[in-house]
Structure 1
Amino acid sequence: MTVTIKPCTVDEIERNPHFPALAREYASEAAIHGLPAPVEKLAAYRLIEASGCFQGYGAFLDDDELIGFVALLLPVIPHYGVAIAVSESFFVAAAHRKSGAGIKLLRAAERQARQAGSPGLLVSAPYGGRLARVLPHLGYRETNRVFFKEMADA
């Protein structure tokens, strides 16, 4: 079985027959207590894509089964005045995590970040998760921690 990484539009990801199951698995694994359940706002992704600040990549098994994805945002951050690449969503199905798909997706995101002129790539990882343990071995360093406080009255 071969894993292939391909640039994908939002529509290509959405139309893939394997996307609904992958999105459900991602939503259950990436949920943050106190935030609403993840629901893909594909129209918002399309707007960002139309602005030129989005690039998606899909990981495909045997060229058609979507097993992972990375959504890369490339906005110009006012604080720095340059495009900073950020992996907004990054996921590989648990059954395929030893396939190399995650590293291949990450490398595709890094190439896109370089091409966009970004000085680096920001990748968030669930606290204590496997990705947080792997990233330092791939040249990433922890720079910040994100804290969350639930607004009970919101």
Structure 2
Amino acid sequence: MSTAIRSCRVADIEQAPTIDALVAEYVEEAGVPEMGPANPQWEQYRQLEAAGHLHCFGAWDDETLVGMCFVLISSVPHFGVPFASLETFFVTKSHRAGGIGLRLLRTAEGLARHYGLKHVMATAPAESALSVVLPRRGYRESNRVYLRVLDDE
């Protein structure tokens, strides 16, 4: 079977039998240890979806979820520019060959175009597979994300 990209609801991702394994692999590769273990906030995702700000795509190998992309539609208040942000973008290592990740990325970009957006932002862990793919697709590094864990100073 070939892997297909499908627009789906948050519930489809949340209820996929492989979601726990997919999230575990995502965290292993792209997690932020200081934030603790993965704890997807499904209700928050559903609220964003209901408000029209979040769109989901799944990569499905038959009925097995092997990748996901959550696209958040927002704006930068300082510039007044709407944009699409890849809030979550991940494909299992076992399904990356064959271009499924690029197809998933193109699908997210197509959604942005559908809404008339000119900008797509994505974050990627330093030196990850995604950090190699994005520049090849025309993305440029525009900012760096820094994290500080606040203690009881």
TM-score, normalised via structure 2 length = 0.93
Aligned partner of 1:102: which letter? G
| Deviation of the 1:98 alpha carbon | 1.0
Aligned partner of 2:113: which letter? R
| Deviation of the 1:32 alpha carbon | 1.3
Q: Could you report, residue by residue, the CA deviation over 1:92-147 in whole angstroms, capped at 9, with x for unpaired residues? A: 01111113111111000000011112211101110111111111111111111111
Does the CA-based 8 Å contact 2:74-2:84 persist in structure 1?
yes
Q: Is 2:101 aligned against 1:102?
A: yes
Aligned partner of 1:92: which letter? V
Please name the residue that 1:117 is paired with: 116
Alignment of structure 1 residues 139-150 onto 2, 5 Å = 139-150=138-149
Please name the residue that 1:7 is paired with: 7
Identity of aligned residues (%): 39
- Any idea what SS the aligned residue of 2:87 has? strand
- Any idea what SS the aligned residue of 1:125 has? coil
Q: Is 2:49 aligned against 1:49?
A: yes
Q: What RMSD in Å do the two structures reach over aligned CA positions?
A: 1.5
Number of corresponding residues: 153
Q: Is 2:59 aligned against 1:59?
A: yes
Task: Give the Cα–Cα distance (whole angstroms) in 2 for the partners of residues 150 and 66 of structure 1.
Answer: 33
Please name the residue that 2:38 is paired with: 38
TM-score, normalised via structure 1 length = 0.93
- Any idea what SS the aligned residue of 2:33 has? coil
